[in-house]
């Protein structure tokens, strides 16, 4: 067994290399691994993004800083790291709904959203969301954006990673942070789903 101390980059690369080798040799499929990851993915990322969203909903000064410089504002909450260096938050309003994609690969703001879901990396999503965003949201995600709201699609790259600040739902005045946190889903921060329903 290896006794060498590895840097985080080295060990992440080793895991990536092992996964490629196992997939190439047919030992397992990427879908099988993704399914397993999906069960746990809420434990590695989106809850951090949700904390940022709730803070923005409850603290207008923080929200202003977040929209001005997301990476810096996230650092205030102790959130930073690989692939989070150049994050830009796009804010949903009554008039504009935002969606993120990476048209070339799978650039994604890991520190706030965790691992990208499998479909985010799918060439079909990457092409279709750019061509017919409103239709893809409705047909593939069951999410209807009202016709009087403009849909904007933002292309993340390794130089600039977007994510979506959803609107705080009506009827949540006076809610605790815990209650609000439960409303913020990963899909809402990608822009392919609504925030949770207000009971």
Partner 1 sequence: MLPAPYADPVDQVAARDRITDLVCDLPEASPEQLSFEHPWEIRAFAMAVSAHRELGFDWTAFQQALITSISGWEERTGTSDRGWSYYEHWLAALESVLADLGLLSTDELGRQTRDVLAVPANRNHHEAHTEPIAVDPARRTHH
- What residues numbered 68-127 form the site for partner 1, per CB under 8 A? 83, 86, 95, 98, 101-105, 107, 110, 114-115, 117-119, 122, 124-125
The residues annotated as belonging to the active site are: 102, 105-107
Nearer to partner 1, 36 or 198 (CB): 36
Beta strand extents in 42-111 (DSSP E only): 87-91, 96-101
Residue 178 CB, shortest distance to partner 1, in Å, is 19
Residue 7 CB, shortest distance to partner 1, in Å, is 10
Q: Does 67 bind partner 1 (CB under 8 A)?
A: no
Nearer to partner 1, 38 or 72 (CB): 38
In sequence order, the 6+-apart residues with CB closer than 8 A to the CB of 62 are: 55, 56, 73, 76
Helix axes 133-141, 123-131, angle to 10 degrees: 130
Give the burial string for 90-121 (b: 16+ CB within 10 Å, else e). Answer: bebeeeebbbbbbeeeebbbbbbbbbbbbebb
Helix, strand, coil distribution of the chain in percent, nearest 5: 50, 10, 40
User: For residue 165, which phi and psi values (nearest 5 degrees)?
Assistant: -95, 105
Q: Which residues ranging from 19 to 38 are in contact with partner 1 (CB under 8 A)?
A: 19-22, 25, 27-28, 32-38
Q: Does 16 bind partner 1 (CB under 8 A)?
A: yes
Residue 144 CB, shortest distance to partner 1, in Å, is 13
Burial class (CB in 10 A: 0-12, 13-18, 19+), 22: middle
Task: Say how many C-beta atoms besides its own lie within 10 A of residue 29's C-beta.
Answer: 11
Residue from the set 47, 85, 91, 151 that interacts with partner 1 by CB under 8 A: 151
Nearer to partner 1, 92 or 187 (CB): 187
Nearer to partner 1, 24 or 173 (CB): 24
Residue from the set 85, 155, 169, 181 that interacts with partner 1 by CB under 8 A: 155
Q: Does 44 bind partner 1 (CB under 8 A)?
A: yes
């Amino acid at each position: 067994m290896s006794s060498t101390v590895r840097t985080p980059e080295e060990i992440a690369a080793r895991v990536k290399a092992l996964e490629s080798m196992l997939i190439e040799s047919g030992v397992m499929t990427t879908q099988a691994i993704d399914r397993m990851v999906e069960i746990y993915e809420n434990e590695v990322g989106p809850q951090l993004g949700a904390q940022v969203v709730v803070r923005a909903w409850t603290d207008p000064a923080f929200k202003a800083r977040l929209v001005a410089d997301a990476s810096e504002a996230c650092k205030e909450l102790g959130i930073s790291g690989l692939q989070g260096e150049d994050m830009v938050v796009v804010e949903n309003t009554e008039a504009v709904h935002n969606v993120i994609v990476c048209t070339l690969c799978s650039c994604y703001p890991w520190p706030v959203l965790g691992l990208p879901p499998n479909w985010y990396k799918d060439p079909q999503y990457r092409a279709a969301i750019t061509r017919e965003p409103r239709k893809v949201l409705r047909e593939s995600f069951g999410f209807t954006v009202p016709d009087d709201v403009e849909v904007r699609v933002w292309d993340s790259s390794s130089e600039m990673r977007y994510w979506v600040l959803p609107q705080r739902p009506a009827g949540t005045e006076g809610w605790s942070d815990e209650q609000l946190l439960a409303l913020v889903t990963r899909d809402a921060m990608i822009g392919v789903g609504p925030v949770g329903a207000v009971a």
